[in-house]
Amino acid sequence: MARKAVTPPVRGSRSGRPIMVLLDALGQRWTLRILWELTPGPLSFRDLRERCDQVSPTVLNGRLKLLREMALVEREEGAGYRLTPQGQELGVRLLDLNHWAEHWARD
Amino acid sequence: MARKAVTPPVRGSRSGRPIMVLLDALGQRWTLRILWELTPGPLSFRDLRERCDQVSPTVLNGRLKLLREMALVEREEGAGYRLTPQGQELGVRLLDLNHWAEHWARD
DNA sequence: TCTTTCGCTACGGAAAGTGTAGCGACCCGA
DNA sequence: TCGGGTCGCTACACTTTCCGTAGCGAAAGA
């Protein structure tokens, strides 16, 4: 498919629209979950893995790499991984989503 | 989710927390994109597929089935697929996300 | 030195996604 | 009444991604 792509790895869409880049990244399994688990505070690689239902380290590392490239997550010596300020802004949206989900579950 | 009842497999998490169900569903490829493409208005199966970079009909149908079970999307005779009121609430959040993404892209 | 914990990688098997072809139902104009 | 077009959707073989487990090298105590 074309998604193997020409040059750049944005994979999901060649439109370049930021939302597409975002949707595509968030649409990979565990990405949203990882952000969610990091919103309360920093976590070590292993702890983060545990929170995410023991997701395989291969995938976790891949996602963290992606999220770091997107400047949503960063690694801090000693404290493990944490959201960047930009990542926290996204986290706020996730919290809102959580709020909505609670309500949605009572349909 | 509670809606899908007891036994099976929300796949991502056994916690039952709605946000987990949601994150898991949205974390499947194309799910977020499909919701996004439906926010402006209803689309036929084929049109929707075209908007989603010609995603394979197999996957598209699978996602639509899931989204319908989650009561986020419904099919209307003649008009194709469209968001339910609940789906539209989610769409609002996606629009907000879009707004943020535009800003985020200028990092 | 021995042990523990850290982030992270290797690798083989399993699952999910992809691309193409095409079916049955429906409509519409000839 | 016969194509020809569109609709939603499925079948199926192929490819990519993901998973689960094992384990490495480094660092930090004991």
Per-residue pLDDT of chain A (107 residues; tens, 9 = 90+): 333 333 233 444 545 688 888 998 998 989 999 999 999 999 999 999 999 999 999 999 999 999 999 999 999 888 899 999 999 999 999 999 999 999 998 87
pLDDT of amino acid B5: 28
Nearest to A89 among B2, B98, B100 (CB): B100
Report if CB B30 to strand D is under 7 Å. no
For residue A1, CA distances in Å to A11, B34, B84 come to 10, 19, 32
**The tokens of B76 are what?**
């209307």
pLDDT at A60: 96
DSSP, residue by residue, A62-104: HHHHHHHHTTSEEEETTTEEEE-HHHHHHHHHHHHHHHHHHHH
Q: Is the CB of A29 under 7 A from strand D?
A: yes
* Bridge partners for A73 per DSSP: A83
The residues of the protein lying within 7 Å (CB) of strand C read A 1-3, 44-47, 56-58, 61, 64, 75, 80; B 11, 28-30, 54-59, 62
Is residue B76 predicted with pLDDT exceeding 70? Answer: yes
| Gap between the Cα atoms of A94 and A23, Å rounded | 14
B86 touches strand D (CB under 7 A): no
Helices A31-38, A18-26: axis angle to 10 degrees equals: 90
Chain A neighbors of B31, CB-CB under 8 A = 27
pLDDT of residue A36: 94
Q: For residue A17, what pLDDT is reported?
A: 81
Can you give the pLDDT at residue A8?
Answer: 35
Give dist(CA A49, CA B73) in Å, integer: 32
Q: Which amino acid is at B96?
A: D
Reported confidence tier of residue B15, pLDDT bands at 50, 70, 90 = low
**Among partner residues B13, B22, B28, which is closest to A29 by beta-carbon distance?**
B28
Report whether A44 contacts A81 (CB < 8 A). yes
pLDDT at B106: 85
CA triple B101-A7-B105, angle to 5 deg? 15
The confidence score (pLDDT) of residue A1 equals: 32
- Rounded to a whole number of angstroms, the distance from the CA of B47 to the nearest CA of chain A is 17
Nearest CA in chain A to B20: A33
A16: alpha, beta or left? (left if phi > 0; alpha if psi -120 to 50): left
Return the pLDDT at A73: 96
What number is the average pLDDT over the span B78-92? 93
B23-62: per-residue pLDDT in tens?
A: 889 989 999 999 999 999 999 999 999 999 999 999 999 9
How high is the pLDDT of residue A15? 59
- Nucleotide closest to residue A11 (CA–C1'): D16
Would the Cβ of A56 be found within 7 angstroms of any atom in strand D?
yes
pLDDT at residue B16, as a whole number: 67
Buried b (16+ CB within 10 A) or exposed e, B75-100: eeeeebbbbbebbeebbeebeebbeb
Domains of chain B: 18-105 (1.10.10.10)
